[in-house]
Amino acid sequence: MSDVIIKIEDLSKQYRLGTVGTGTLSHDINRWWANLRGKEDPFLKIGEVNDRTKASDAEYVWALKDINIEIERGDIVGIIGKNGAGKSTLLKILSKVTRPTIGNIKLGGRIASLLEVGTGFHPEMTGRENIYLNGAILGMRKAEITQKFDEIVAFAGVERYVDTPVKRYSSGMYVRLAFSVAAHLEPEILVIDEVLAVGDAEFQKKCLGKMQDISRNDGRTVLFVSHNMAAIKTLCQKGIVLENGTNVFNGTQIDAISFYQNNIETIDKFEHIGPIETAPGNNNIKILKFLVAPQTGDYLTMLSGVDFLIDFYCGIEKANIDVTFEVNTQDDMILFHNGSVITKNNDSKKGIYSVKCSLPKQLLNAGIFSISIIFGQNQRYLLLKKDHFISFEILQETVGSNSNKFPGIIFPELKISSSYKSL
């Protein structure tokens, strides 16, 4: 029989943009009067899905809508989704930082949260005082906190500054101490937002190891929000995908990552349906199909390699046709601009051509990229250009024991040799 420690039922959270409460006295009175009579909140019938990418004049939005989740004791669950999907709102409700508009949450134990830098710390108090304060909030006795105190400070690496007001800490020190407190004061449920991204790589690795330990050895439950797919893959057993405030997938962490990859807000495939005449392009070139696919595995990663596959109709005869791929970063910086001549002897024919371009593994680093496709004649005359026609995301991979994102745009495999000579 399963031991459910978190049960979320029909959870929804509504906001009115730019205001506190409903924003007007009349709306607040209407809501209060409905509640007093045991009636439904009149403003729950309105509101749009919280899609930050679309402009709207709507006053009310649903940050979360109809969330139903059960999490078992001892599970490490990764919560995945793009920015604005509702991940942080869900964790804030679980941590009782904010209340749900509709729905219920049942918790089977104490919960400790690390939501953002400084959460739960009083800036004027020292590190020592904040450790005892957080322990008291979790319902621990002073003697219990004292027993754990040295271990907390050592893990955080702030021995020299433990009696310094935390307002003088760097963001990294803040996070190290906050995580250490949350992990060592033995909550049954540990909730971690992306705040770990503030810490250095060594400490992030330490945190991930600690989260594994407290789950496997102590049987505690961890909810982990991250865009680091490598960390989700190696740390978590299960995954939840949120999109525009709704829960669109529950399953294993591998399946959740695959679902997210296939449904991400990138357009990594295009296929024209209908007659060639209506395909995007012009009289010279019509694009019929464009696909970005991994060379190995089920999704694009730093180690999978990348294939660009394109089918196009050529309407020009007896010419040298060239195809160029221009790959851009998310910041619109050109990573490379390169291609090849498809018909080299002025022998192009009217019909459909298929082109495959392969990028080796460990070329692109983790990140989002876009592809512009350029068709030319004799590498001089432009036939067709489609800017940012396709976009795709390269996910992180664990390299050795390192699960963190490496700096840089590319991640080439280097041939490094070394030698040693004794004195």
CB 324 within 8 A of CB 339: yes
Q: What is the pLDDT of residues 377-402, one digit of tens each?
A: 987 788 998 888 888 888 887 666 56
Q: Which residues pair with 337 in a beta bridge?
A: 326
Q: What is the pLDDT of residue 400?
A: 63
Residue 204 corresponds to which amino acid? Answer: Q
- Ranges of beta strands (E only) in 154-305 are 189-192, 221-225, 238-243, 246-252, 269-271, 285-294
Q: What is the pLDDT of residue 53?
A: 43
Q: Which parts of 188-338 fold into alpha helices (H)? A: 201-216, 229-235, 253-263
Strands laid side by side in the 321-329 sheet? 334-341, 321-329, 367-377, 381-394
Q: What is the pLDDT of residue 322?
A: 94
Say if residue 383 is exposed, middle or buried (CB neighbours under 10 Å; 0-12, 13-18, 19+).
Answer: buried
Strands laid side by side in the 60-72 sheet? 48-49, 60-72, 4-16, 102-107
- Regions of the chain where pLDDT drops below 70: 1-2, 16-59, 116-119, 195-201, 261-267, 331-332, 398-405
Q: What is the pLDDT of residue 196?
A: 61
The conformational region for residue 218 under phi > 0 = left, psi -120 to 50 = alpha, else beta, is alpha
As a whole number of angstroms, the distance between CA 181 and CA 55 comes to: 41
Tokens representing 155 are: 């893990």
With H, G, I as helix, E, B as strand and everything else as coil, classify residue 315: coil
Dihedral of alpha carbons 63, 67, 71, 77, sign: negative
Tokens representing 350 are: 């009217």
With H, G, I as helix, E, B as strand and everything else as coil, classify residue 142: helix
Q: What is the pLDDT of residue 216?
A: 79
Domains plus CATH for the chain? 4-109+188-263 (3.40.50.300), 269-394 (2.70.50.60)
pTM of the model: 0.59
Give, in order, the Cα–Cα distances in Å from 294 to each of 305, 315, 398. Answer: 6, 30, 17
Q: Which of 200, 212, 226 is nearest to 396 (CA)?
A: 226
Tokens representing 214 are: 């407290």
Q: What is the pLDDT of residue 146?
A: 92
CB 198 within 8 A of CB 175: yes
